Amino acid sequence: MKVVITTYPFGQCSLDVQRLLDEIRNNHEAEIVFNALCRKYSKDEVAAVLEKENPDIIIAGTETYDAMQLDLCKNLKMIARAGVGLDSIDIEECKRRKIIVTNTPDAPTNAVAELAVLQILSLLRRNHIVDRKMRGNKWKRYTGRELKDCCVGVIGNGRIGSSVIKKIEAFNPKRILYTDLDPKREIFSSHTWSNKEDILRECDVITIHMPLSSNSVNYIGKEELSLVKNNAVLINTSRGGIINEKNLHQWLSSNPEASAAVDVFENEPYDGRLLELTNVLLSPHFGPCTTTSRAAMESGAVREVLNFLCGTPPTNEVSI
């Protein structure tokens, strides 16, 4: 039995994870292979690892697993995703091949929601710009905005979006508008169930919390950005590809009083043109990167592997 862990870092935040890995080694005679490059694998690098190791089980991050990748590991029986997003895994292909796929949907919720709130406050007060100015020996005080004076829009009302709404309530904003692809998620009676267009038009702060799918690729593009206020704050901690990066660059360039915070990108690591701009706050897909979140993601994924090896039904098996 061979378990390949492609995500990185792994096992550094919790002794519990190490204990669970030892249980796999000792009780199930498994060899565990870790990410040797200490960073996210490219698609070609994943292919090379799969071809070399021919794993029975993969503990995955956001690496791509499509039919071509799956062809390289004939013994593969399970992909345990350490995290919530599944856009990088061809679920239908896995089902066809009878490969079990699991994820850890609750683990990153609070960490990502906290990051979104942090980004909102930083952009409203231009904290990232002030820091740069001071490091350049420029003492300049900016007059920012308070969240209580803003209308906030939340696009995507799942676990993370709902957590963001609950956290933002403490700041008592003027209004909170929210929407989701699933109309059943109209759950906040004290706030306004809305739609994408009205949120884009009316809100001073817009934060996006949607999974990437065929329905959400380029969900915010040139046409949508043309509706947004020229001093709005736009946050994306969900997935790259939901906001069109080229269109976002054009919008930010044309509206210097607007700002955006982007933690996720179409291609990672990111080296695109948003790096040229000062009115965008960039981070390296580190929304879930807290000790608590990472430990929960990793231990959750390893526990699913143990469930599989022990013949116990998975806790969070993914279905189409």
- Positions marked active-site: 239, 268, 285
The pair of structure tokens assigned to 41 is: 């694998």
Q: Which helix (H) or strand (E) holds 253?
A: helix 245-254
Residue 265, C-beta contacts closer than 8 angstroms, at least 6 positions apart: 240, 245, 272, 285
The pair of structure tokens assigned to 206 is: 């817009």
The pair of structure tokens assigned to 180 is: 């989701």
CA dist., res. 180 & res. 157, Å (int): 5
CA dist., res. 27 & res. 25, Å (int): 6
At residue 100, φ and ψ (nearest 5 deg) are: -75, 135
Q: Which of 121, 114, 201 is nearest to 155 (CA)?
A: 201
Residue 220, C-beta contacts closer than 8 angstroms, at least 6 positions apart: 200, 208, 234, 242, 243, 244, 247, 248
- Counted residue by residue, the chain has a size of 320
Q: Which helix (H) or strand (E) holds 202?
A: helix 196-202
Return the residue matching tokens 């509206």: 255
- DSSP secondary structure letter of residue 56: S
**Amino acid identity of 140?**
K
